[in-house]
Amino acid sequence: MAGTKYEILDPETGWLDPSIYTDQEIYRREMTHIFGRAWLLIGHDSLIPNPGDFFHTYMGEDPVILSRGSDGSVNVLLNMCRHRGARLVRADDGNCNSFVCSYHAWTYGLDGELEYVPGEQEVYYGELDRSKLGLKRARVATYAGLVFATWAEDAPSLEDYLGDARWYLDMEFNRSGKGTYAVGPHKWIQPINWKTAVDNCSDWYHVPVSHASAANAMFRVLGEPRFTHDRLFQMKGRAAFVNGHQVQYFKMPEDSLAGQSKSIPTATAEDDTAEAVERLGEFRAKSVVLGTHSLFPNTVLGFRLAIPRGPLKTEFWHFALASNADTPEQQREVLRVHTARNGVTGHFEADDVDNWRQVSESGLSGTYRELGQRVNLGIGHTHTDDVFPGALSDRFVSENNHRHFYRRWEEFMNADSWADIPLDPQKATYEGTAGMNE
Amino acid sequence: MVVVTVIDRDTQSEVFAPTASAKSAQELWTELNAFYIAEAWLLDERKLHEWLDMFTEDLLYFMPRRKNVPSREADREIPPYGTDLPFFDEDRKMMLVRIQRMDSGMAWAEEPPSRTRHLVGNLVVQRVEEDGTVHAKTAFLCHRSHAEYDTALYSGYREDVLHPVDGTWKISRRTIVLDVNVVLDKNMAIFF
C-alpha cells in the first residue's frame, strides 16, 4: 500500500484504467486518501435552522451528525459512540438537547462533549476522563449556506479548496443575499462506482443519446427545447476545471434558452438582475450561467451527493435548492422540476444509471482491462483565459474535465498528506459584494 | 338515499355514508376491487396509455418521501403535499412525458422493459361523498425484474380519490406511500 503510485490515466491518449471502479484496495485507499482529506459537502444551513436541530448525513462511509449548538454554532460529529461505536442518532433529522446512545446511554451534548456516563463513580470508579471521550469532531465551514466538513487537520481553508471554482458557483449559489434553502433528499442505491456519476457532470456528449427519450417527450408535450448534437456542438459555453471541481458554463445570450424553455430552472427569479449585478458584477450576473458542475470528490449537479458504499455501490442523495428570493410559485416550480427530471424517479436521471453501471463493471473484465477506456474527446484542444478561470476546453462538448478529474484523483491517491496536493492559484476577479458567506 | 358502510379514515371505525348510486357497500367494494385488478394487469402488461386513461384530466400522481423519525414524532414521517421534495408530483402532462418516452425505444431505464408484477389488495373504502366521489385505500406489493439479474421488491399503500364516470371510475388523486426510507432500486422508472 504505502509507496503504491497510481497512474491510471494517460493524458496523451486518454487511456483510463477501468480497475479504478472495481478494485477493493483502490476503494479502501479512496476512503482514507480522498474522503478522509477532502472538504465534503454534507448539508445546508437551512436543514438545521434552530438551536438543537440536527440532520443525519455522511462523510464518505462515515455517518455524521450535523447539529446546531445552543449558541448557534454548527457542529459535525461522527455518529459513533466513543464507548463501542453504536450510533447516537437514528432519525433522519430532528431537534434535541443531547445525543443519547441506545446501547449504554452515554450522553453527549450538541457539541459532542461527553456529558454523562451511567455509573461513572460506581462502575468506572471515578477513573473515566470524560473530557477525552467526546464525539469525533470534523472541521466545518460554509459557503453560501452549503455546509462542508473535512477530517483533515492539514486541509487548506474551504475558500482555498474551492478556489476559483467559486467564481462560477457564485452565479447560482450566491446570486441573492436572501440565500437558498434545501429540500429533500431522495435517497437511493445505485449499483455503480461513485466516480462515474461525478465525471458524468461534464459529459454533454451523452445528453442527446442517453436522454433522447425524455427530451423528445418534453419537446412534444411541453414545448421544451431539444438538446441535439448540432446544438451542443455549437454552444459558446465551455468546460472549466479548477482544483478538482468541474464546471460547464453557458455564455449569454448566445446559449440562452430564453423563450424556448418554460421550465428549465435558473433557480433565480427573473427580476433579480439588479441585486445580482451588485453581488456578482455586471459580467457574471448577465453574461454567464452556471451549467452542470461537480465539486471534488463527490458532489454532483448542484446539491446532490454520490456517497460511496463500496466499489460497485453508491448511495445517491438528491436535494433541491430553492431561492429565498423567488416567489412561492417559482419555488414550487423549481421543486416540481427537480422531482420530475432527476432523483430516483427523474425521467432524465433514470436513463443514466445502467450506463454508469456498465462503465463501472468494465473493470471486472480482464479482457477489457487490457484495452482500457478511452477518455480522449478533445485532447490537445484546451486553453486558458484572462476572464474565465481554470483549464478550459475549446468546445462545450469535451472530455477535458474528465481527464482533469482523474488526474486530480491521482494527486489525492498518491499524496502522503495535504502538503503533496497542489492547489491552483486564485486569479479570478470577483466583482461585486458576494463573499464566501455574505 | 342509499347508505353504505365504510371505514372512517381518521378513526378507523365503521361509519355510514350516503352514496349517489344505488350500490351496497359490498357492491361498491367488489366493483372497486375489480377496477384495481384490471389496473394492475394494465401496468404489468405495459399498456401505459390505457392505464393513464384510468385517471382524470386534472390528475395528481403523488409519492412523498418516507422519513426516519422517532415514534413520538410520527406526524413528521410522511411530509404533506407541497412541503417537501416528493418522489412524484405529476400532473397529466408530466405523466404523458413519462409514458411517451417509453414509446420511443430509447428510454434506457426501461429498454428492454422491466418485468413487473403488481399485487393489489387490502381494499378499504374510506369515505363516500354526496356526489359519489370515493376515497379508497389499497396496499400493494410490486416485484420488478430488469435486465439480467436486477430485482426490486416494492411494498406500500395507495390512497385514491375516485369519481364515477360513464359507468366506470376515474382517479383524480393518487398518493403512493412506499414502505422504505432509502429506495433499494437503481431507479424508479415503473408506476404504481
Is residue B7 within 8 A of residue B15, CB to CB? The reply is yes
Is residue B64 within 8 A of residue B181, CB to CB? The reply is no
Q: What is the C-alpha separation between A184 and A188, in angstroms, rounded? A: 12
User: What is the least distance, in Å, from the CA of B189 to any CA of chain A?
Assistant: 6
**Residues in chain B closer than 8 A to A210 (CB atoms):** 108
User: What is the least distance, in Å, from the CA of A228 to any CA of chain B?
Assistant: 15
The whole-number pLDDT of residue A227 equals 84
Q: How many domains does chain B have?
A: 1
Between 3.90.380.10, 3.40.718.10, 3.20.20.80, 3.40.250.10, what CATH number should domain A163-420 receive?
A: 3.90.380.10
Domain boundaries, chain A: 40-141, 163-420
Helix, strand, coil shares, percent, chain A, to 5:
30, 25, 45
Structural domain including B107 reads: 2-68+81-178
Mutant choice from B94, B144, B154, B181 vs A, greatest count of A C-beta within 10 A: B94
**Pairing state of beta strands A391-393 and B115-128?**
unpaired
Q: Which amino acid is at B164?
A: P
Tell me the CA end-to-end span of chain A in Å, nearest whole number. 43
Residues of A annotated as catalytic are 104, 203, 206, 211, 352
CB contact under 8 A, A213 and B88: no
Query: Could you tell me which chain B residue has the CA closest to the CA of A328?
Result: B82
Tell me the CA end-to-end span of chain B in Å, nearest whole number. 35
Span B120-173, pLDDT tens digits? 999 999 999 999 999 999 999 999 999 999 999 999 999 999 999 999 999 999
Q: Is the pLDDT score of A266 beyond 70?
A: no
**Residues in chain A closer than 8 A to B79 (CB atoms):** none
The whole-number pLDDT of residue B3 equals 46
B186 domain residue, yes or no = no
Q: Is the pLDDT score of B14 beyond 50?
A: yes
Q: What is the C-alpha separation between B184 and A189, in angstroms, rounded? A: 6
**Residues in chain A closer than 8 A to B106 (CB atoms):** 212-213, 216
Beta strands in A128-262 (DSSP E): 139-143, 146-150, 180-190, 239-242, 245-251
Q: Does B189 touch chain A (CB under 8 A)?
A: yes
Q: Please state the rounded mean pLDDT for residues B173-187.
A: 98
Q: What is the C-alpha separation between B137 and B156, in angstroms, rounded? A: 11
Mutant choice from A305, A329, A351 vs B, greatest count of B C-beta within 10 A: A351
CB contact under 8 A, B184 and A216: no
pLDDT grade, residue A193 (50/70/90)? very high
CB contact under 8 A, B106 and A332: no
Span A315-336, pLDDT tens digits? 999 999 999 988 899 899 889 8
Span A38-94, pLDDT tens digits? 999 999 999 999 999 999 999 999 999 999 999 999 999 999 999 999 999 999 999
Q: What is the C-alpha separation between A150 and A39, in angstroms, rounded? A: 5
Residues 149-168 of B with CB under 8 A from A: 150
CB-defined contacts A:B, below 8 A: 131
Q: What is the C-alpha separation between B147 and A178, in angstroms, rounded? A: 47
pLDDT grade, residue A255 (50/70/90)? confident
Q: Radius of gyration (Cα) for chain A, nearest Å? A: 22
Give the alpha-carbon dihedral of A223, A227, A229, A233, to 10 degrees.
120
CB contact under 8 A, A320 and B100: no
Angle (deg, nearest 10), helices A165-173 and A273-286: 150
CB contact under 8 A, A216 and B101: yes
CB contact under 8 A, A345 and B88: yes
The whole-number pLDDT of residue B12 equals 58
The whole-number pLDDT of residue B1 equals 35
ipTM of the complex: 0.94
Half-sphere CA count of A39, side-chain side, radius 13 A: 23
CB contact under 8 A, B109 and A357: no
User: What is the least distance, in Å, from the CA of A86 to any CA of chain B?
Assistant: 17
The whole-number pLDDT of residue A102 equals 97
B75 domain residue, yes or no = no
The whole-number pLDDT of residue B21 equals 54
Cβ count near B144 (within 10 Å): 19
B26 domain residue, yes or no = yes
Is residue B112 within 8 A of residue B192, CB to CB? The reply is no
CB contact under 8 A, A344 and B150: no
Q: What is the C-alpha separation between A44 and A29, in angstroms, rounded? A: 28
pLDDT grade, residue B185 (50/70/90)? very high
Q: Is the pLDDT score of A127 beyond 50?
A: yes
CB contact under 8 A, B109 and A91: no
Tell me, what DSSP letter sits at residue A132?
Answer: G
**Residues in chain A closer than 8 A to B147 (CB atoms):** 354
Q: What is the C-alpha separation between A196 and A360, in angstroms, rounded? A: 7
**Pairing state of beta strands A180-190 and A239-242?**
unpaired
Q: What CATH number corresponds to the domain at position B124?
A: 3.10.450.50
Mutant choice from A90, A188, A304, A356 vs B, greatest count of B C-beta within 10 A: A188
Cβ count near B159 (within 10 Å): 17
Tell me, what DSSP letter sits at residue A178?
Answer: T
Query: Could you tell me which chain B residue has the CA closest to the CA of A213?
Result: B101
Instruction: Say yes or no: domain A40-141 is CATH 3.30.470.20.
Output: no
Helices (H), chain B: 25-44, 48-52, 92-103
Q: Which amino acid is at A14?
A: G
Span A59-70, pLDDT tens digits? 999 999 999 999
Environment class of B133 (CB within 10 Å of its CB; exposed 0-12, middle 13-18, buried 19+): middle
User: What is the least distance, in Å, from the CA of A309 to any CA of chain B?
Assistant: 13
Environment class of B185 (CB within 10 Å of its CB; exposed 0-12, middle 13-18, buried 19+): buried
pLDDT grade, residue B11 (50/70/90)? low
Tell me, what DSSP letter sits at residue A329?
Answer: H
